[in-house]
């Protein structure tokens, strides 16, 4: 029942990446949502994805395991908050096993797929609980990492 501190505007807690693909959004959505396709682009090469399972419904789990070139594995567990086919996917690392709080609520990732000149405007938005986490994410290489993956996504979508 304590008073809340003054809010940090969400603009200071988010990172956004946009790409335009000459591919219809249904194909971009397929490349994102089908595990066999996602494995081809979700890690920046030469990293790979050794495992991808997506239970695409609110409360459903995503299990995506990245593998370094040296063979070390890094699990990225998450939960889907909202899924609108061909339009929008919202997921977060804030929960495990349904709605149990995870060790750390770091970010909400919102992916949108929009029609644009016969192709697709792809937007990946990472919103964080704190400005410090946003900054850490940027320094971890958000723009380079997510950017390279988005380019790889466009290439995979073009093959579908």
Binding span for its own copies by CB under 8 A among 16-24, 25-33, 87-95, 150-158: 87-95
| CB 19, min distance to its own copies, A | 21
Phi, psi (deg, nearest 5) at residue 42: -70, -20
Q: Does 11 bind its own copies (CB under 8 A)?
A: no
39 by Cβ neighbours in 10 Å (0-12 / 13-18 / 19+) ranks as middle
Q: Does 100 bind its own copies (CB under 8 A)?
A: yes
112 forms bridges with which residues in the sheet? Answer: 88, 123
DSSP code for 87: T
User: Which residue stretches of the chain are H helix?
Assistant: 25-33, 35-38, 131-139, 142-158
| CB 96, min distance to its own copies, A | 9
Residue 18 and residue 121: Cα distance in Å, rounded? 7
Please identify which residue in 45, 53, 55, 58 interacts with its own copies, judged by CB under 8 A.
58
Q: Which is nearer to its own copies, 36 or 140 (CB)?
A: 140
| CB 101, min distance to its own copies, A | 4
Q: Which is nearer to its own copies, 82 or 115 (CB)?
A: 82
Q: Report whether 128 contacts 14 (CB < 8 A).
A: yes
SS3 content of the chain, % helix, strand, coil (to 5): 25, 40, 35
Q: Does 99 bind its own copies (CB under 8 A)?
A: yes
Q: Which residues bind its own copies (CB under 8 A)?
A: 1, 3-5, 7-8, 10, 13, 58-59, 66, 74, 81-82, 90, 92, 94-95, 98-105, 107-108, 110, 127-129, 140
């Amino acid at each position: 029942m304590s008073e809340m501190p003054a809010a940090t505007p969400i603009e200071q807690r988010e990172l956004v990446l946009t790409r335009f693909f000459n591919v219809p959004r249904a194909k971009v959505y397929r490349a994102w949502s089908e595990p066999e396709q996602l494995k081809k682009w979700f890690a920046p090469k030469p990293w790979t994805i050794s495992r991808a399972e997506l239970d695409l419904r609110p409360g459903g789990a995503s299990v995506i395991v990245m593998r370094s070139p040296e063979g070390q594995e890094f699990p990225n567990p998450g939960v889907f908050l909202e899924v609108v086919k061909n339009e929008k996917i919202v997921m977060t690392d804030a929960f495990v096993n349904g709605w149990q709080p995870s060790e750390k609520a770091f970010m909400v990732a919102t992916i949108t797929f929009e029609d644009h000149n016969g192709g697709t405007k792809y937007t990946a938005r990472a919103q964080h609980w704190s400005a410090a986490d946003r900054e850490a994410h940027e320094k971890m290489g958000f723009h380079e990492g997510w950017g390279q993956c988005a380019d790889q996504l466009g290439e995979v979508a073009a093959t579908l």
